Amino acid sequence: MDKSLVERDRQAIWHPYTQMRLAPDPLPIVEGSGARLKDELGNYYIDAISSWWVNLHGHAHPYLAQKIYEQALQLEQVIFAGFTHAPAIRLAERLLHILPKGFSKIFYSDNGSTAVEVALKMAMQYWRNQEQPDIDDAIKSQRGVSSVLRGITRKKILALTHAYHGDTFGAMSVSERGVFTVAFQDYLFEVAFADVNEWSTVNNDWDEFACFIYEPMVQGAGGMKMCEARALNALLKKCRQHQIICIADEVMTGFGRTGKLFASEYLDEQPDIICLSKGLTGGMMALGATACTQKIYDAFLSDDRSKTFFHGHSYTANPIACSAGNASLDLLLQDECFINIQRITAKHAGFLQQLQRIDVVKHPRQCGTILAFELDYGDDGYLNNISSILHGKALNKGVLLRPLGNTVYIMPPYCTTNEELDEVYNCVLEIIA
């Protein structure tokens, strides 16, 4: 007899963020359409978390699929050093057009973590390139390279408590130290962490910070923590006063999730660098992008080749992924999409009022299409096992939820209908009852 998909999965696959001994069998999904996923037995699930926050317009969207197909038939991949192509150029131009003012270059990579790595490396090398004379000049001055190489004064990095920026080493280093990072803590570089409301306690010389990285308005994996624009503005202003490079990680908040195209639009103070991924392709293809201002870019222009930005991935600016990005923007920038975002935002606001009356619900909150609360059950934190219980119960009711510990959140694709939202809300109410 043929082995089932689950048996074959169990034999061959190691899943992300999954304790393989304790986790229930994975659910084989065979199809997606709109906000729904269908399993091999024909059961449907509303994807209330946009499949790890990537999906914007619905699953297997025919327009996106068509554009990917056309691109795959024309040009599937080409090395991106020394070569270029229209899908990457068009996507970069369009991103620069819709991002907050002041951005002038796009650097492509593969995912959210790499978009963050690129941003951190840009900021670190910015200071090195600024503070070090050209090696060529040093040699010409006949004083020798070592005599003119000074120590870099801007070496420290500032991040927010509760931050999550990804799973590669740089991204882990700037993330809150906790269960995700504990096994690697000896290998992570040192970072100062500031509370967005109490940063005046930061015990460092602010002129030593090279950069400050933050998730604007909503901190995702750290527990859907939401902040006041006023508080973050004040911290950003302080960074500005000290010429610290500001990096907005909009990997999760970008592309309409918070009710604006980018969460940075809620803020007066704008970053020097923005990290994008997830919704960048509408959830169709893996792609990362790091946008920077002319000031950052200019610091790498030199006759001295050692000032080059030595970073790139095999699939940098993959044409199919860029085409998915362009197709997703086609849909995102239509009025219909923003009407849907506003519709979901308004529906969430109604549900929030209902949640406020429930005893076991703590800190119900919302930012645009993201709604979250803590369930008053056990300790706050990712390892609270209530998460897997709620996940299982919701699946039985045809809804995909994946609470972060006892933090329950809803972040649906924008095509989710009012009826589907009601199904999700009812499911949440039933499982917490």
Q: Which two tokens stand for residue 308?
A: 């080059």
* CB of 111 or CB of 323, closer to ligand PMP: 111
Task: State the number of binding residues for ligand PMP (CB under 6 A).
Answer: 14
Q: Is 249 a catalytic residue?
A: yes
257 is a site residue for ligand PMP (CB under 6 A)? no
Tell me which residues in 203-222 interact with ligand PMP (CB under 6 A). 215, 220-221
Which residue from 119, 213, 227, 252 is in contact with ligand PMP, where contact means CB under 6 A? 252
Q: Which of 238, 278, 307, 347 is catalytic?
A: 278
Tell me which residues in 353-412 interact with ligand PMP (CB under 6 A). none
Q: Which of 164, 214, 382, 425 is catalytic?
A: 164
* CB of 164 or CB of 351, closer to ligand PMP: 164
Burial class of residue 66 (count of CB atoms within 10 Å of its CB; 0-12, 13-18, 19+): exposed
Which residue from 50, 55, 71, 111 is in contact with ligand PMP, where contact means CB under 6 A? 111
For residue 362, the minimal CB distance to ligand PMP (Å) is: 22
| Amino acid occupying residue 59 | H
For residue 216, the minimal CB distance to ligand PMP (Å) is: 10
The pattern of x and - marking residues 161 through 180 that bind ligand PMP according to CB under 6 A reads: ---xxx--------------
The pattern of x and - marking residues 264 through 303 that bind ligand PMP according to CB under 6 A reads: -------------x--------------------------
* CB of 18 or CB of 241, closer to ligand PMP: 18
Q: Is 278 a catalytic residue?
A: yes
* CB of 132 or CB of 173, closer to ligand PMP: 173
71 is a site residue for ligand PMP (CB under 6 A)? no
For residue 278, the minimal CB distance to ligand PMP (Å) is: 6
* CB of 263 or CB of 361, closer to ligand PMP: 263
249 is a site residue for ligand PMP (CB under 6 A)? yes
For residue 218, the minimal CB distance to ligand PMP (Å) is: 9
Q: Which two tokens stand for residue 135?
A: 């090696």
Q: Which of 110, 249, 272, 307 is catalytic?
A: 249
Tell me which residues in 115-134 interact with ligand PMP (CB under 6 A). 116
Helix axes 418-432, 335-356, angle to 10 degrees: 20
* CB of 223 or CB of 423, closer to ligand PMP: 223
223 is a site residue for ligand PMP (CB under 6 A)? no
Q: Which of 17, 63, 69, 187 is catalytic?
A: 17
Q: Which residues bind ligand PMP (CB under 6 A)?
A: 111-113, 116, 164-166, 215, 220-221, 249, 251-252, 277
The residues annotated with a catalytic role in the active site are: 17, 164, 249, 278
